[in-house]
């Protein structure tokens, strides 16, 4: 019923969502010399990083060979061993992506890198927990170098790993001629699995514990986390998981293949038996320039995802590990900013286009106010997008439904990010972003920058929320329970049907699922299903 709006808002995801807890320089399991450099020996060879301000950082570490030439649209291949010591003091290339608010144009396919940060002084025997973060960006952009994770490392004493994975047409192309390739439609997901295997094999060398690996992700990164929960090829690669503002969103193979064929035709590749060969002959920039209409998605009906991620979760066919799942109170305000300046007629057209014959019913629940301004349409559409979960089932009532589904099978801690008056991702004079999509990222990684630095504008209450979030996330990484000394006690959703409302100035508190449902009008939206 709401397909047109879903497509539109999923496209917007690519413009606003990427998080990473990524590093500054590099570190080691050995001693730092006078210059601050440190050396760690992985299975492939030795790496030299840098120790700074209590954090050892190893950046731009290859976990797979460059997927170029005949390796384009093939599973990631191993990295050959090397002799000597390789520098790991700078981020590797971003994966190819069009220009967006998530970073500059990138055209280098040599981009499969991980970054590792750990507390300075970590010893091999410490076996610290590992937090692996998967960035968002709608599967079309973003990178592991968007933010610095040193504050997270310092305040939690955990090891942080971030990674790049193939994006857009390079990471999520599906074609009939790729049917025998394991990654058909999911090459980016296959990259993530390769990075997780790299962690399993090498994190001990950094003082980490391969048996205590938490995978987390935001937006498209959270779609990926759900896929790892479901995929049989991800079993044993992590022990717990976190999903920030995501869903179990995937698309059938037939739809992804149709999308792939349409894209191939757009770049002049139409010969059925040679689509892949033709596409491999095209330069990166040509493929990127033609990809604006390509809508990547995780693809089900494949080796990696035998069934849709949503149906697999509903049937309990996923890894039953401890989970933190949640979303932001005003997810849709990030997606509805394009409606700023629109009039009542535009709002009514949105309702009619999205809901058809039920437009009047939706209007009765989200009425036009007696007083309006240039932001009214954006706020109304934002509320509807949030509550109905129109952006790929992210937020609102679809989040509550997903939480209830997970809780039938495994331990779940639920949250709603509820800092509604903080700075927006991009400054729009007069527009209140609320707790919009991706608003929590700067609180978890204060150097997060989606075009405009956010954390430098925090007031004291917002800075306290940042500390609180990092402690909650860190304690979950350590023991599978997001409880930190001196902070509001966070009980499982299973036992209490309560959701942690994450608020500024130490005011976080548990709210009931019933209160959350009322807040987002879930009774109404459930009746619309």
Which positions are annotated as active-site residues?
219, 331, 437
Q: How far apart are CA 25 and CA 48, in angstroms?
A: 10
* 220-231: burial string, b at 16+ Cβ within 10 Å, e else: bbbbbbbbbbbb
What is the SS3 assignment for 49? strand
Residue with tokens 């978890």: 444
CA dist 6 and 436 (Å) reads 17
Calpha distance 45→29 (Å, rounded): 13
How far is residue 118's CA from residue 153's CA, in Å, rounded to a whole number? 6
Start-to-end CA span in the chain (Å): 9
CA–CA gap between residue 95 and residue 92 (Å, rounded): 9
**Residue 373 burial by CB count (10 A; 0-12/13-18/19+): exposed, middle or buried?**
exposed
Q: Which residues contact 350 (CB under 8 A, 6 or more apart)?
A: 339, 377, 381
Contact (Cβ atoms closer than 8 angstroms) between residue 379 and residue 333 = yes
CB 342 within 8 A of CB 377: yes
* Cα-based torsion angle of the residue sequence 351, 355, 359, 365 in order, rounded to the nearest 10 degrees: -80
- Cα separation, 401 vs 408, in Å, equals 11
Give the list of residues 6+ apart from residue 362 with CB closer than 8 angstroms, or none: 351, 354, 355, 384, 528
Burial 332-357 (b: 16+ CB within 10 A, else e): bbbbbbebbebeeeebeebbeebbee
Is residue 248 exposed (0-12), middle (13-18) or buried (19+ Cβ within 10 Å)? buried
Alpha helices in 2-64 (DSSP H): 3-16
Do residues 519 and 499 touch, judged by C-beta distance below 8 A? no
The closest of 66, 245, 84 to 164, measured between CA atoms, is 66
């Amino acid at each position: 019923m709401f397909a047109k709006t879903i497509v539109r808002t999923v496209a917007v995801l690519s413009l606003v969502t990427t998080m990473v807890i990524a590093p500054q320089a590099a570190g080691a399991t050995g001693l730092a010399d006078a210059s601050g450099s440190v050396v760690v020996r992985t299975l492939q060879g030795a790496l030299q990083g840098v120790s700074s301000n209590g954090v050892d950082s190893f950046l731009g570490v290859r976990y797979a060979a460059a997927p170029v030439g005949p390796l384009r649209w093939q599973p990631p291949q191993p990295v050959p061993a090397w002799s000597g010591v390789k520098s790991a003091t700078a981020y590797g290339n971003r994966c190819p992506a069009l220009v967006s608010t998530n970073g500059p144009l990138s055209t280098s396919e040599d981009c499969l890198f991980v970054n590792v940060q750990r507390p300075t002084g970590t010893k091999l025997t410490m076996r610290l927990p590992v937090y692996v973060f998967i960035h968002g960006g709608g599967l079309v952009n973003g990178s592991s170098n968007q933010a610095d994770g040193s504050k997270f490392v310092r305040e939690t004493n955990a090891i942080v790993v971030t990674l790049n994975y193939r994006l857009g047409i390079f990471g999520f192309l599906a074609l009939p001629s790729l049917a025998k390739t394991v990654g058909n439609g999911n090459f980016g997901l296959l990259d993530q699995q390769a990075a997780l295997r790299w962690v399993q094999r090498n994190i001990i060398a950094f003082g980490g514990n391969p048996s205590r690996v938490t995978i987390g992700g935001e937006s498209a990164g959270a779609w990926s986390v759900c896929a790892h929960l479901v995929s049989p090829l991800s079993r044993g690669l992590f022990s717990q998981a976190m999903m920030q503002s995501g869903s179990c969103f995937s698309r059938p193979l037939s739809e992804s293949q149709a999308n792939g064929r349409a894209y191939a035709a757009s770049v002049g590749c139409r010969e059925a038996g040679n689509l892949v060969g033709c596409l491999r002959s095209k330069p990166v920039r040509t493929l990127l320039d033609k990809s604006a209409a390509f809508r990547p998605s995780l693809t089900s009906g494949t080796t990696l995802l035998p069934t849709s991620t949503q149906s697999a979760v509903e049937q309990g066919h996923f890894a039953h590990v401890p989970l933190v799942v949640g979303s932001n109170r005003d997810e849709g305000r990030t997606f509805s900013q394009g409606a700023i300046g629109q009039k009542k007629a535009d709002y009514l057209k949105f309702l009619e286009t999205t809901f058809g014959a039920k437009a009047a019913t939706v209007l009765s629940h989200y009425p036009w106010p007696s007083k309006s301004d240039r932001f009214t349409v954006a706020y109304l559409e934002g509320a509807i997008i949030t509550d109905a979960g129109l952006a790929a089932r992210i937020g609102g009532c679809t989040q509550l439904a997903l939480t209830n589904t997970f809780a039938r099978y495994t331990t779940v801690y639920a949250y709603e990010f509820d800092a509604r008056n903080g700075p927006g991702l991009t400054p729009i004079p007069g527009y209140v972003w609320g707790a919009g999509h991706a608003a929590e990222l700067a609180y978890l990684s204060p150097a997060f920058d989606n075009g405009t630095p956010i954390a430098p504008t925090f007031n004291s209450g917002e800075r306290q929320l940042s500390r609180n979030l990092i402690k909650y996330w860190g304690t979950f990484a350590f023991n599978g329970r997001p409880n930190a000394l001196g902070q509001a006690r966070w009980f499982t959703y299973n036992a209490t049907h309560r959701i942690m409302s994450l608020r500024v100035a130490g005011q976080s508190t548990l709210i009931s699922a019933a209160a959350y449902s009322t807040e987002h009008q879930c009774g109404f939206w459930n009746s619309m299903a």
